[in-house]
Chains A and B, each alone.
With several copies, the nearest count.
Chain A
Amino acid sequence: MKILYFAWLRQRTGIGEEDVSPPESVRDVASLVDWLKQRNPAFAEALADTSTLRVAVNQEFASFDTALNGTEEVALFPPMTGG
Chain B
Amino acid sequence: MAIRVQREDFDVGAEITALTEGNPSIGGVTSFVGLVRDMADGERTSAMTLEHYPGMTEKMLAEIDAEAHDRWPLEASLIIHRYGRLEAGDRIVLVIAASPHRDAAFEACRFLIDWLKTKAPFWKLEEADDGATRWVEAKETDDAAAARWETNTGTRKAG
Contact = CB atoms under 8 A, between A and B. Distances in A.
A contacting B, Cβ–Cβ less than 8 Å: yes
B135 A83 contact: no
Contacts of A4: 53
Given A6-B51, A7-B135, A80 B56 contact: no
A77 interface: yes
Interface residues of A, number: 16
Contacts of B51: 6-7, 10
Interface string B130-159: 000001111100100000000000000000
Contacts, number: 69
26 contacts: A6-B53, A6-B123, A7-B123, A10-B51, A56-B121, A59-B55, A59-B59, A61-B119, A75-B121, A77-B53, A77-B123, A78-B123, A79-B137, A80-B120, A80-B121, A80-B138, A81-B117, A81-B123, A81-B136, A81-B138, A81-B142, A82-B93, A82-B116, A82-B117, A82-B121, A83-B116
Interface size class, chain B: 20 to 34
B124 interface: yes
Interface of A: 4, 6-8, 10, 56, 59, 61, 75, 77-83
